[in-house]
Amino acid sequence: MRCAASTIPRPSIRSMVAPAILATGVAATLALTACDAGKPPASMPVAVNGKTFTCRLAIDPAAREQGLGGVASLAPDEGMLFAFTDSAPRSFWMRGCIMDIDIAFIDPFGFVTAVHTMPKEELKGADETVVSYEGRLAKYPSLAPAQYALEVAPGTLAPLGVKRGTRVEFDRELLKKHAK
């Protein structure tokens, strides 16, 4: 009896490798083009425990200060990634935020140092001073030096099993290059 598989033509190595080389070349060209421009991307993929988020970047003081303040909602695969020039103990608050937010602080090597769900707080009252308002906001600490922070929709990180020591994948080198 003759094996039916022996009649199926086998692809050549060239036909299998050429598309992979082409795809790699295109990706490398796009990456180099983005880097050559010297301008940071507006967003970046961030992967944690099998889930990938498309994150807006907060890489300068103004963007970090604004954060997700005023944002009413995030899609399940959206977030914001904060990058700082150094690793230090950090804390975040919910100034101007109108939705709850999950946050994971991340060290320079991509490991989570702390995770919090930050509930929205009453916005600054018309007769309230900035000092009084900011003084009443809860602070959420990194618990160890952190260089990055990932913010996503509330209730997202716990089901993914994100906790202290969880590895988070993103282009840390690109962020280090552009953080101000």
The model's pLDDT over 128-173, given as tens digits with 9 standing for 90+, comes to: 999 999 999 999 999 999 999 999 999 999 999 999 999 999 999 9
Helix (H) or strand (E) holding 174: helix 172-178
Sheet holding 112-118, edge to edge: 112-118, 101-106, 146-152, 78-88, 51-58, 43-48, 168-169
Q: Which of 145, 169, 164, 174 is nearest to 86 (CA)?
A: 145
41-178: CATH topology is Jelly Rolls (2.60.120)
pLDDT for 20: 39
Tens of pLDDT, residues 2-28: 333 333 333 443 333 333 333 333 333
Facing residues of 55 across strands? 44, 79
Q: Is the pTM value of this prediction over 0.75?
A: yes
Cβ pair 44, 170 in contact under 8 A:
yes
Tens of pLDDT, residues 43-99: 999 999 999 999 999 999 999 999 998 898 999 999 999 999 999 999 999 999 999
Domain extent listing, the chain: 11-40, 41-178
Q: What 3-state DSSP class applies to 175?
A: helix
